[in-house]
Amino acid sequence: MSKQVEFTEMSKSTPEDYEIIMDHAREFVSKLPDRILAHLDLLKGDTGGMAIDRYEHCLQCATRAYRDGKDEEYVVCALLHDIGDSIASTNHADLAATIVEPFVSEKNHWIVKNHGIFQGYYFFDHIGLDKNMRDRFKGNEHFDACAEFCEKYDQNAFDPEYENMPIEKFEPMVRRVFAKPKKSIYKKES
């Protein structure tokens, strides 16, 4: 893929230029699962003071969801819910949600995006915050699903004795979920 456009300003591009660009884009996007899995590796070694590192925590969340019979998309969201910790420490859920948004259901996106506040139910009072902060979302159709995610798969996934499934079991799931977006941010006007 050695072809490159010659324009230096998008305003001077042509449809032919964008054929070249889209060829490159397809190749780049096809490697998205590899980049996601590599980024997940960045969580190895950092425990944040917990009994296991962030990487093992993500594996444990996904393993628990998988063993509980959750579907593949949900399991992948469980695996990636904290992927933003490495570069968006104060808003990791937002970053993870942005990564998964085009590829998952609205419900799973909502769970990933809001799990940080819902997880606070288990510890916010220990750090001087309102543990019921999640109540501001009462009435949202996904409230119970997010509360369940945190209760069953996130808040209890810090157990060094728990036998996690290896990442190799999750890699094909990640590849399938990220194979093709379900929705696009680019919409044609009617």
pLDDT band (50, 70, 90) for residue 190: low
Backbone angles phi, psi at 123, to 5 degrees: -150, -10
How far apart CA 162 and CA 153 sit, in angstroms, is 12
How far apart CA 105 and CA 55 sit, in angstroms, is 24
Place of tokens 């819910």: 81
- Could you read off the pLDDT of 68-82 as tens digits, one per residue? 999 999 999 999 999
The single-letter DSSP state of residue 42 is: T
- Could you read off the pLDDT of 83-115 as tens digits, one per residue? 999 999 999 999 999 999 999 999 999 999 999
How far apart CA 112 and CA 52 sit, in angstroms, is 21
- Could you read off the pLDDT of 10-37 as tens digits, one per residue? 999 999 999 999 999 889 989 999 999 9
- Quick one: pLDDT at residue 2? 77
Tell me if the domain spanning 32-177 has CATH number 3.40.50.1580.
Answer: no
- Quick one: pLDDT at residue 150? 98
> For the residues 32-53, what does the mean pLDDT come to?
96
Backbone angles phi, psi at 145, to 5 degrees: -65, -40
pLDDT band (50, 70, 90) for residue 182: confident
